[in-house]
Amino acid sequence: MIDIQLIGLLNATLQAATLLFIAALGELITEKSGILNLGVEGMISIGAVAGFMTAINTENIFLAILIGVLSSSIFASIHALVTVVLKQDQTVSGLILTILGLALSSLLGKNYVGRKLVTKLESVTSISEPTNIVEVLISQNIIFYIAVLLMISTSLILKKTMFGRRLEAVGEDSKSSDSMGLKVAKTQFIATCVGGAFAGLSGVYLTLSYVPYWTDNMTSGRGWIALALVIFGGWKPYRTALGAVLFGFLEALVPRLQTYGFELSPYIVKITPYVITILVLVILTIYKGGKTGAPKNIGVPFFRENR
């Protein structure tokens, strides 16, 4: 017999993890190309609001997903334009992207606050109250399975395909890559937009399924956690997924602590993931002698003229 509460916890963990993981995976791809995008929080908001508005107005859930993903991707292209084409500072541009994304999504979603979604993103099977682990795993909605698929395919693409190897080469050493005839700017531009698209999918998951309504700042720092996850995962898709499950577990655990009779303050539990991430970073750096898996050229603009 497995405790029904435990099943609920597992279900909530998977959902929280999915949300974090998709955005983190997108950022991973962007960072692999050597572009740091601190605008994840803003991109998730844009995807979330665009998806929600489409769902309310058209009641077509797949169109909503599509619009959410596309609008975030287009939004991310601002960052690509400023950092890849105009070679400006990536930290600054990413932070502005967050501010712009949060403000723009609040403005767009102003008339949608409190509106109820008619067509919510439902589970792929007809199980609404899972009672065992297998049922939890088969009762998620479509985006969960897309996320699993994306995890496997991203790992394969990065390791096995020409595009993946080129992406990594550009992020590691853009100058040599350019000498080898790789198109640095084009690769980085695409990687940034793909990262935006993933963040958009994460945003759509947030408003169409995780909390099916719209309020201001509803991303509540998840974009920043996604950034931390990439580092936690050492720029590897599977380890990032593991980190997402851990962070998702802690997020799911906090509201349930009291029912289990723990006296631990929920506020302290909330900061543990960040403390763990710092510890993991330190341990990784010590053991691997500075090789945390970070792309070498991250944050460094590429000037062909200075080569």
Partner 1 sequence: MAIFIGSIILLIQDKSPIDTFSLMLRLSVGSVNSLSASLNKAIPLILAGLGISIINSVKLWNIGAEGQIFLGAIAVNFIYINTQINSPSIHIFVLLVAGFVGGSLCILIPAITKVVFGVNEIITTLLTNYIVFGVTIFLINGPWKDPKSLNFPAAAYVGEEVFLPTIIGKLSFGFLICILFTILAHYLKNKSVFGFEMRIAGGSAMTAVYAGINAKQKAFIAMLIGGGFAGLAGAIELLSQTHRVSTGISQGFGYTAIIVAAITGMRPLGIFLVGSLFGALSIGGSVIQTIGVSAYIADIIQASTLFGALIIQFFFTYQIKKVEND
- From CA 212, how far away is CA 71, in angstroms rounded? 19
* Closer to partner 1 by Cβ: residue 128 or 306: 306
Instruction: Name every residue whose Cβ is closer than 8 Å to that of residue 48 and which is 6 or more positions away in sequence.
Output: 68, 105, 203, 204, 206, 207, 214, 218, 219
DSSP conformational letter for 302 = P
- φ, ψ for residue 73 (rounded to 5)? -65, -45
Paired strand residues for 276: none
Site for partner 1 in 1-60 (CB under 8 A): 36, 38
Contact pattern for partner 1 over residues 241 through 280, marking x by CB under 8 A: ------------------------x-xx-xx--xx-xx--
DSSP 8-59: HHHHHHHHHHHHHHHHHHHHHHHHHTT---TTHHHHHHHHHHHHHHHHHHH-
Q: Does 87 bind partner 1 (CB under 8 A)?
A: yes
Q: Does 104 bind partner 1 (CB under 8 A)?
A: yes
The single residue among 2, 4, 103, 180 that binds partner 1, judged by CB under 8 A, is 103
The single residue among 285, 296, 304, 307 that binds partner 1, judged by CB under 8 A, is 285
By CB under 8 A, the count of residues binding partner 1 is 44
Tokens of 159: 């390791």
Site for partner 1 in 107-146 (CB under 8 A): 107, 110
φ/ψ bin of 299: left (φ > 0), alpha (ψ from -120 to 50), beta (otherwise): left
The single residue among 10, 19, 82, 252 that binds partner 1, judged by CB under 8 A, is 82
Q: Does 204 bind partner 1 (CB under 8 A)?
A: no
The single residue among 66, 70, 224, 257 that binds partner 1, judged by CB under 8 A, is 224
Binding residues for partner 1, rule: CB under 8 A, are 36, 38, 78, 82, 86-89, 91-93, 95-96, 98-100, 102-104, 106-107, 110, 221, 224, 227-228, 231, 265, 267-268, 270-271, 274-275, 277-278, 281-282, 285-286, 290, 292, 294, 299
